[in-house]
Amino acid sequence: MPIKAIGFDLFNTLIMAGPGAVGEALTRLTENLRAGGLDLDPARFQTLYREAAVRFIQESHREGKETHNRFWISAALTEMGHTLPPEDGRIASAVEAYFSAFYAFCRLIPGTEEMLAGLKGKYRLGLLSNFTHPPAARGLLDFFGLTPFFEVILISGDLGYRKPHLSVFEQLISELGVERDQILFIGDDLDPDIRGAKEAGLNPVWMTYVRDNRVPTFPGYTATREEEPDPDVPRISHWQDLQELLR
């Protein structure tokens, strides 16, 4: 059947984070908590935060349910003797401080805006992103001027589940309003994006710009670089490759 809609992943497919993003984000996170009255050793807190993030993300991968940075912060603080629930306002402020760093450090995959402009009107366009904090994902889309290109924007932090969970792909299919086999889904990460889309009945396309150019992956969402998808999955490294594929 002809392709009528195209779904996209966000990080490392449309947007990539440059070197230094995570370090600056952690610095802003820590400084915000200290400004909120918490006596923290920065190095110790950041180590505990990273360890908590790994635990929660691994559990999220196993269960399919999305996690959130506020739980990681709460867990790290608790280990340091500061018992703050994830809903505490100081933690909410720290989350915003953390993600504020990415505006300066992120950039578009080359040609992304031109590619989306060329597709809009010819296909229904949707975005399905694994992102813990939806306001930050939507903020980045607005910052880079990408929001108007999409008829559907779905963030795992809103949905409660993350790719490759079938429910998030079913939501994308429903909102795009076309048959599942009429949808391409483009992403960089083999398990969430490629296998998830294929198991949901979509047509996956593997975007390897970040892999091929050895760009550091967004923290917590790293793809396994050694693996390869099924041989029948198309691979694109530049957006010109997508144009050839669609022809």
Quick one: 140 and 86 in the same domain?
no
- Reported pTM: 0.92
> What percent of the chain stands above pLDDT 70?
96
Q: What is the mean pLDDT of residues 127-134?
A: 97
**For residue range 11-55, what is the model confidence (pLDDT) as tens digits?**
999 999 988 899 999 999 999 999 999 999 999 999 999 999 999
> 103, 128, 148: which is the final residue of a domain?
103
Q: Mean pLDDT, the chain, as a whole number?
A: 94
Quick one: 88 and 124 in the same domain?
no
Task: Identify which of 110, 114, 129 has the alpha carbon closest to the alpha carbon of residue 16.
Answer: 110
How many domains does the chain contain in total? 2
CATH number at residue 38: 1.10.150
The answer, yes or no, to whether residue 58 has pLDDT greater than 70, is yes
**For residue range 158-175, what is the model confidence (pLDDT) as tens digits?**
999 999 999 999 999 999
Residue 232's domain comprises: 5-17+107-246
Quick one: 142 and 66 in the same domain?
no
DSSP 109: P
Quick one: 72 and 113 in the same domain?
no
The CA-CA-CA angle for residues 67, 73, 74, to 5°, reads 95
CATH number at residue 233: 3.40.50.1000
Q: What is the mean pLDDT of residues 85-94?
A: 97
Task: Identify which of 140, 174, 123, 153 has the alpha carbon closest to the alpha carbon of residue 5.
Answer: 123
Question: pLDDT value at position 220?
Answer: 44
Quick one: 96 and 132 in the same domain?
no
The answer, yes or no, to whether residue 218 has pLDDT greater than 60, is no
